[in-house]
């Protein structure tokens, strides 16, 4: 891993930890709504302009569908890793106390 990749990974891990701290202990429905809102803002940033400077709705909808499909694939691939991490934390907490 080169220095740039190492810095990006460190930045990624730090941001994930900060978001986790913000959401820790919050009602799951509020967590979900918060994440959904952040994701909608992220996805809204992807659009295809039309010739007049507006948004080409058909191309934008197609682009966002592709991005969201890829995001869902990534999300599903991370669930087993996150589940294992949670189970390890639970086991460690039981062991400690």
Chain segment 15-59, per-residue pLDDT in tens: 999 999 999 999 999 999 999 999 999 999 999 999 999 999 999
State yes or no: pLDDT of 97 exceeds 80: no
Whole-prediction pTM: 0.79
3-state secondary structure of 83: helix
The per-residue pLDDT for 96 is 85
Query: Residue 66: which pLDDT band, with cuts at 50, 70 and 90?
Result: very high
Token pair belonging to 4: 């740039």
What is the sign of the dihedral through the CA atoms of 84, 41, 27 and 20? Answer: positive
Q: Which domain holds residue 8?
A: 3-96
Q: Looking at the 3D structure of the chain, how many domains does it have?
A: 1
Beta bridge partners of 49: 55
3-state secondary structure of 24: coil
43 neighbors 68 (Cβ within 8 angstroms): yes
């Amino acid at each position: 891993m080169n220095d740039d990749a190492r810095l990006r990974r460190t930045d990624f891990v730090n941001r994930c930890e900060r978001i986790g701290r913000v959401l820790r202990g919050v009602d799951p429905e509020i967590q979900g709504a918060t994440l959904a809102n952040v994701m909608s803002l992220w996805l809204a940033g992807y659009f295809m302009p039309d010739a007049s400077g507006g948004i080409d709705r058909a191309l934008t909808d197609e682009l966002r569908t592709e991005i969201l499909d890829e995001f869902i694939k990534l999300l599903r691939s991370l669930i087993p890793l996150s589940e294992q991490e949670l189970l390890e934390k639970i086991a460690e907490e039981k062991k400690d106390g």
